[in-house]
């Protein structure tokens, strides 16, 4: 067999996906793919409905945890509103600005103007830099008036990422300030319920009437969402237990549909790579494990070298003492100083190590439990934690007063729904290269 024959099949993989785009989170689905959000869809329809007939849309604020369908519902309904408006001879436009990509007032305002100017009839060159946020907004208002646009809605997704409220404020006041003749509305979306208080403090109380909260999904809803996407796979590729398993795992945490869809997709990719003909529950377990490793790596990659040394110490202790559930701060400190000596570095003080462990616990990388007394006497038990919801929750969780009170080792409280999983594998204590490398693998039987 010559080499060209060898390579003729390099693009042939497993026969798993029929329409993989249906499982990509960036894909905006058709509205009829949305499952179990009828009330929320109606509420957004109610807010945008007047706009489709040339009346002012209602400004609305949407809250909810990640993966509860906020972005999906808002985008789908906005798109649908634009179509509906056409049938009423109303020129309705919307701009969808993901503020996590455009965090400054100027960037978000520019993006709003850019989207409006992108349509064939409104083509305008928007300067990339050199003008301020207010100028970008003025361009937007001018475009609306020049092109006789009746209604404009700005969807500000992840609005809490914006460094100030100016854009939102100007959208809600553009009419009364005589900036534009168009009816202008805003839909703000936030993953943080605390954002409500911030807005209420600063903005008009009339907005409080238009708040919408998206609750987390339960296992049945997640299951229905996934079952409505099975045409992403070729017929017969999904084994029976796969969707129930993904749904149960996701619902154990906070019912995040994004995570469920991602897990199903990853399971499919693993099966495809293995050239398997079906996706099994084993593929799901592998996908979950891989996601944990990725999240863990991501969390750890942003830390300082000393934090990495401390985490590595804890990982080595965990790997070397399979029967031991947790380690006291003084045990960790002793092992840490030995490790640091082999690296030729100067150790931090025990207090410092204790504080850093506490921080990592708050972020969900480790778990700490206060067992009474001072930290130096072994009364704070620490363990490495790869538990997904803690890692995930930690990443998104702002240090609020409440969570601080609940989440630090001093109180020993844990996320209520989370059993403690201990990382344990020979790959766990990945050896130091130029930097500490974490190659953590979840103990598989613990799930």
The H-or-E segment that residue 98 falls in is strand 92-98
Q: What is the DSSP letter of 295?
A: H
**Does residue number 255 form part of the binding site for ligand ADP (CB under 6 A)?**
no
Judged by CB under 6 A, which of 257, 317, 335, 391 binds ligand ADP?
257
Piece in contact with ligand ADP (CB under 6 A), picked from 59-67, 170-178, 278-286, 372-380:
59-67
- Out of 20, 258, 306, 395, the only residue in the binding site for ligand ADP (CB under 6 A) is 258
Contact status: 192 vs ligand ADP (CB under 6 A): no
Nearest to 66 by CA among 253, 219, 223, 247: 253
The two three-digit tokens of residue 271, written as one number? 């099966």
Q: Can you say which residues are annotated as belonging to the binding site? A: 68-72, 217, 229
Looking at the DSSP assignment, which residues form a beta bridge with residue 381? 328, 369
Q: What is the 3-state secondary structure (H, E, C) of 132-150?
A: CHHHHHHHHHHHHHHCCCC
- For ligand ADP, the closer of residues 138 and 211 by Cβ is 211
Among 52, 60, 68, 368, binds ligand ADP (CB under 6 A): 68
Task: Determine contact, residues 100/159, Cβ cutoff 8 Å.
Answer: no
Q: Which is nearer to ligand ADP, 368 or 392 (CB)?
A: 392
66 binds ligand ADP (CB under 6 A): yes
Among 18, 19, 21, 25, binds ligand ADP (CB under 6 A): 25
70 binds ligand ADP (CB under 6 A): yes
Q: Which is nearer to Mg ion, 101 or 231 (CB)?
A: 101
Q: Is 71 helix (H, G, I), strand (E, B) or coil?
A: helix
Q: Report in angstroms how near the CB of residue 132 gets to ligand ADP at its nearest.
A: 30
CB closest to ligand ADP, residue no:
69
Q: How many residues does the chain have?
A: 447
CA-based angle 73:78:84, to the nearest 5? Answer: 125
Would you call 314 exposed, middle or buried from its count of C-beta atoms within 10 A (0-12, 13-18, 19+)? buried
- Which range, of 61-69, 318-326, 372-380, 408-416, touches ligand ADP by CB under 6 A? 61-69
Partner from Mg ion, ligand ADP, none binding residue 64, C-beta < 5-8 Å depending on class: ligand ADP
**Which residue(s) pair with 430 in the sheet?**
none
Long-range contacts of 212-215 (CB under 8 A, 24+ apart): 212/40, 212/43, 212/44, 212/60, 212/61, 212/62, 212/63, 213/62, 213/63, 213/64, 214/37, 214/40, 214/62, 214/63, 214/64, 214/65, 214/68, 214/69, 214/70, 214/73, 215/64, 215/68
Site string for Mg ion, 313-352 (x = CB under 5 A): ----------------------------------------
Tokens of 247: 């749904």
Q: Which is nearer to ligand ADP, 112 or 260 (CB)?
A: 260
Q: Which does 375 bind (CB under 5 to 8 A by kind): Mg ion, ligand ADP, none?
A: none
One of 71, 221, 303, 326 touching Mg ion (CB under 5 A) = 71
Nearer Cβ to ligand ADP, position 71 or 174?
A: 71
Which CB atom, from 71 or from 440, has the smaller least distance to Mg ion?
71
DSSP 181: S
How many CB atoms neighbour CB 244 within 10 A? Answer: 16
Considering the rule CB under 6 A, would residue 60 count as an interface residue with ligand ADP? Answer: no
> What is the distance between the alpha carbons of residues 396 and 325, in angstroms, rounded to a whole number?
27
Q: CB under 6 A: which stretch of 47-55, 68-76, 115-123, 231-239 binds ligand ADP? A: 68-76
Q: Which of 362, 352, 358, 354 is CA-nearest to residue 399? A: 362
Give the count of residues interacting with ligand ADP (CB under 6 A). Answer: 18
In whole angstroms, give the CA distance from residue 189 to residue 63.
Answer: 6
Strand positions, DSSP E, 135-244: 151-157, 183-190, 211-214
Please enumerate, by residue number, every residue annotated as part of a binding site for ATP. Answer: 68-72, 217, 229
Residue pair 133/102 in contact (Cβ under 8 Å)? The answer is no
- The option from Mg ion, ligand ADP, none interacting with 68 (CB < 5 to 8 A, set by class) reads ligand ADP
Give 60 or 71: the residue with its C-beta nearer to ligand ADP.
71
Applying CB under 5 A, the span of 67-75, 112-120, 173-181, 205-213 interacting with Mg ion comes to: 67-75
Q: How far is the CB of 4 from ligand ADP (least distance, A)?
A: 41
Q: Does 67 bind ligand ADP (CB under 6 A)?
A: yes
Compare residues 102 and 136 and give the one whose CB is closer to Mg ion: 102
Q: Which of 116, 261, 381, 423 binds ligand ADP (CB under 6 A)?
A: 261
Spell out the alpha helix ranges (H) of 253-400: 257-273, 281-301, 305-320, 329-343, 350-363, 388-396
Q: What are the structure tokens assigned to 380, written together?
A: 């704070």
Q: How far is the CB of 45 from ligand ADP (least distance, A)?
A: 15
Site for Mg ion in 133-192 (CB under 5 A): none
Give the dihedral sign, CA 309/314/318/321: positive
> Which residues of the chain form contacts with ligand ADP (CB under 6 A)?
25, 33-37, 64, 66-72, 225, 257-258, 261
> Which residues of the chain form contacts with Mg ion (CB under 5 A)?
71
């Amino acid at each position: 067999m010559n080499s060209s024959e060898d390579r003729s099949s390099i693009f042939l993989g497993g026969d798993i996906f029929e329409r993989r785009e249906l499982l990509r989170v960036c894909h905006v689905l058709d509205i009829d793919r949305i499952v179990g959000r009828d009330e929320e869809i109606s509420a957004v329809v109610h807010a945008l409905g007047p706009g489709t007939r040339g009346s002012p849309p209602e400004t609305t604020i949407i809250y909810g945890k990640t993966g509860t369908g906020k972005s999906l519902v808002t985008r789908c309904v906005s798109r649908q509103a634009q179509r509906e408006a056409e049938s009423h001879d109303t020129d309705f436009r919307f701009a969808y600005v993901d503020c996590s990509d455009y965090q400054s007032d100027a960037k978000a305002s520019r993006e709003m103007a850019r989207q409006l100017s992108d349509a064939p009839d409104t083509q305008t060159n928007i300067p990339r830099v050199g003008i301020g946020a207010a100028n970008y907004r003025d361009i937007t208002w001018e475009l609306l008036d020049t092109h006789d646009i009746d209604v404009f809605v700005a969807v500000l997704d992840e609005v809490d990422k914006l460094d100030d409220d100016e854009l939102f404020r100007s959208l809600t006041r553009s009419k009364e300030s005589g900036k534009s003749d168009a009816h202008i509305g805003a839909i703000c979306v936030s993953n943080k319920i605390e954002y409500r208080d911030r807005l209420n403090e600063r903005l008009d109380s009339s907005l409080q009437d238009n708040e919408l909260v998206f609750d987390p999904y339960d296992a049945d809803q997640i299951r229905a969402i996934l079952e409505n996407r099975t045409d992403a796979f070729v017929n017969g590729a999904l084994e029976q237990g796969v969707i129930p398993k993904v749904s149960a795992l996701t619902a154990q945490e906070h019912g995040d549909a994004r995570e469920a869809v991602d897990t199903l997709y990853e399971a499919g990719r693993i099966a495809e790579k293995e050239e398997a003909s079906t996706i099994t529950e084993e593929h799901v377990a592998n996908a979950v494990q891989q996601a944990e490793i990725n999240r863990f790596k991501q969390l750890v990659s942003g830390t300082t070298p000393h934090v990495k040394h401390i985490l590595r110490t804890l990982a080595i202790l965990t790997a070397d003492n399979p029967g031991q559930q947790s380690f006291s701060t003084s045990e960790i400190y002793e092992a840490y100083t030995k490790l640091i000596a082999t690296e030729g570095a100067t150790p931090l003080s025990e207090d410092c190590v204790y504080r850093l462990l506490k921080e990592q616990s708050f972020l969900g990388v480790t778990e700490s439990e206060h067992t009474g007394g001072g930290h130096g006497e072994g009364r704070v038990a620490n363990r490495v934690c790869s538990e997904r919801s803690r890692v995930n929750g930690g990443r998104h969780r702002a240090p609020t007063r409440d969570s601080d009170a609940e989440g630090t080792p001093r109180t020993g409280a844990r996320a209520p729904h989370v059993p403690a999983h201990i990382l344990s594998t020979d790959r766990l204590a990945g050896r130091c290269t130029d930097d500490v490398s974490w190659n953590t693998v979840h103990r598989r039987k613990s799930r």
